[in-house]
Amino acid sequence: MQLRPYQREAVDAVYNHLRTRDDNPCVVIPTGGGKTPLLATICRDAVERWSGRVVILAHVKELLEQAADKLRVIAPGLPVGIYSAGLGRKDLGYDVTIAGIQSIYQKACSVGPVDLVIADECHLIPPDGEGMYQQFLKDMKVVNPRVRVIGLTATPFRMKSGNVCGPDTILNHICYEVGVRELIEQGFLCQLRSKAGVAKGDTSRVKIRGGEFVAGELETVMDDDGLVMAACAEIVEHTMDRHSVLIFCAGVQHGEHVVRTFRERHELECGFIEGNTPPLERESTLARFKAGKLKYLANVNVLTTGFDAPNVDCVAMLRPTLSPGLYYQMVGRGFRLCEGKADCLVLDFGGNVVRHGPVDAINIREPSRSTGEGDAPAKECPECNTIVPAGCAKCYECGHEFPPPEREKHEATASAAGPLSGQKTRETVEVYDVGFHVHHKRGAAPGEAPPTMRVEYEIDADEYMREWICFEHQRFARRKAEAWWRRRSNTPVPQTVAEAVELARAGALAPVNAITVEWTSGVRWPQVVDSDLGEPPPASEFAGMSSEKKPEPAAVSSGSDWESLDIDDIPF
């Protein structure tokens, strides 16, 4: 088997690390990028070139079987044993032992001295404590103090507790990493795209324990009948031209509800697998799905790590998660290439893309180490810039009422956020009300930055999209403001933000029926890029309110000067 260029580079990086450093390396290759050929190559070289012994550790039998298959192809004469209760084998004494961690973690002495331990899906190794990985690796170091550990993963961060590598952890340094976008551009992974949606459900009352939503409470929220019906309807609508749709649910009851909705409301079969599904039923269902005989397959906490179905061309996340690793694993089921598969559609009903960022640029938050000391959380009043406690509903200086805090939400329809950084997605949403405010840049000294007009579009109960109009800026910013105003009003363009707000509140602008919002994945703030407007009122109704003096012509600026302006950065 010929390694791909990046796989060869990864193998060379591992060998270089082992030669030049005393600590343990980690290799990061995306799901579907082919970690197993790399693993098999290292095993072959360790045994045949350097007369070493190797143990491969994994936590699910699918990964053990994949490693054994690749070793048979790459090194057909290599003595390989399998130690796994799930596979019904307990082989010892081989040059290469492929082992399930649950079966072998107390058997380091029985395995005997080895030179390399390769941990597949190494993000599962806990940072400390007495877990199975920790115990086996600690005992193996007693058997051979010079044993080295190599980690392989698609996600160099643990599900709940930060980065895998560190000076005081088993794995210490990422020696090689290749990204999702890079492999997509090189043609080794499948392109991703997403669909947009609007309706939302609130999960603000779901408690968090151990860095994740409490499972029972989350399932109760996600299992709402209206949300399930809306989500299933959207999945059906968006997957008419799809072949294999993998659905992640929040719990068994929720999954059964989804299956029932597909059957009763859409007359479609949806398979279902959860932890207690009998083995024969599970294997039969997976075989039908992989063969293209079952289009929809829902699961609960099963088909993430180790599940290999290249035909998956749509991933629907009906399960919100606070774990960046779990989010990545769910989306990653659609990375693999397959004949007849142009791309993979990601339908995010859990707000996961917005919460964690694009899969090629996930936001990793290390666990808090706060001692409890320091200033209380605070916020700044946008009207008078007074700093007030975070819990205040009203500014005690000027009386400004703060909008309700933003809450974690799950979607009844799929999120508009793109699953890859830089992707742009648009949606048009109905507008129920519009507000106008004078806005001052945060932290700016008096006179340092001109004020702007903040336009707030209410698109749902307590949900707003905002736009900033720069009447008192210069050059391109002023020109944009003039064009914005002329499209909406028959009155002269205001000279100041205060004048613009006064006219807007008096009704001088055309009514707004809907706005088009654009998200750029990986960028925090969406932009309003278009508006569906009614007829602007006659200018005569506002005679005397606005200044009749025309603004002075803006200085002509070169294109490069215009491009250097950051007027579209939000907030001002």
Residues 278 and 322 placed together within one structural domain of the fold: yes
Residues 46 and 167 placed together within one structural domain of the fold: yes
pLDDT, residue 571, reads: 32
pLDDT, residue 158, reads: 62
Residues 169 and 33 placed together within one structural domain of the fold: yes
Q: Is residue 403 a part of any domain in this protein? A: no
Tokens 């019904």: give the residue. 88
Residues 208 and 169 placed together within one structural domain of the fold: no
Q: Is residue 441 a part of any domain in this protein? A: yes
- Side chain identity at residue 306, one-letter code: G
Residues 108 and 195 placed together within one structural domain of the fold: no
Please tell me the distance from the alpha carbon of residue 469 to that of residue 497, in angstroms, as a whole number. 8
Nearest to 273 by CA among 249, 244, 302: 302
Q: Is residue 199 a part of any domain in this protein? A: yes
Q: Is residue 385 a part of any domain in this protein? A: no
Q: Is residue 371 a part of any domain in this protein? A: no
Binned at pLDDT 50, 70 and 90, residue 235 comes out as very high
Please give the average per-residue pLDDT across 388-401, as a whole number.
53
Please tell me the distance from the alpha carbon of residue 568 to that of residue 12, in angstroms, as a whole number. 45
pLDDT, residue 129, reads: 57
Instruction: Look at residues 146, 178, 210 and tell me which one is the last residue of a structural domain.
Output: 178
User: For the domain that residue 78 is a member of, what is the CATH number?
Assistant: 3.40.50.300
pLDDT digits (tens, 9 = 90+) for 93-117: 889 988 888 888 888 888 899 999 9
pLDDT, residue 284, reads: 95
Give yes or no for residue 197 having a pLDDT over 70. no
Give yes or no for residue 17 having a pLDDT over 60. yes
Residues 303 and 339 placed together within one structural domain of the fold: yes
Q: Is residue 397 a part of any domain in this protein? A: no
Per-position b or e across 125-138, b if 16+ CB within 10 A of its CB: bebeeeebbbebbe
Give yes or no for residue 421 having a pLDDT over 60. yes
Q: Is residue 374 a part of any domain in this protein? A: no
Q: Is residue 83 a part of any domain in this protein? A: yes
pLDDT digits (tens, 9 = 90+) for 513-529: 999 988 776 666 778 88
Per-position b or e across 542-566, b if 16+ CB within 10 A of its CB: beeebeeeeeeeeeeeeeeeeeebe
Burial class (CB in 10 A: 0-12, 13-18, 19+), 533: middle
pLDDT, residue 128, reads: 64
Please give the average per-residue pLDDT across 418-440, as a whole number.
80
Q: Can you tell me whether residue 239 is helix, strand or coil? A: coil
Residues 35 and 123 placed together within one structural domain of the fold: yes
Binned at pLDDT 50, 70 and 90, residue 214 comes out as confident
Please tell me the distance from the alpha carbon of residue 491 to that of residue 301, in angstroms, as a whole number. 60
Instruction: Look at residues 337, 356, 375 and tell me which one is the last residue of a structural domain.
Output: 356
Q: How many domains does the chain have?
A: 3
Residues 531 and 449 placed together within one structural domain of the fold: yes
Residues 485 and 443 placed together within one structural domain of the fold: yes
Residues 301 and 264 placed together within one structural domain of the fold: yes
Burial class (CB in 10 A: 0-12, 13-18, 19+), 145: exposed
pLDDT, residue 367, reads: 43
Range of the domain at 198: 191-356
Residues 174 and 196 placed together within one structural domain of the fold: no
Instruction: Look at residues 178, 202, 225 and tell me which one is the last residue of a structural domain.
Output: 178
Residues 168 and 215 placed together within one structural domain of the fold: no
pLDDT, residue 70, reads: 82
Cite the DSSP H helix spans in 447-494: 475-488
pLDDT, residue 162, reads: 64
Say what the pTM is: 0.64
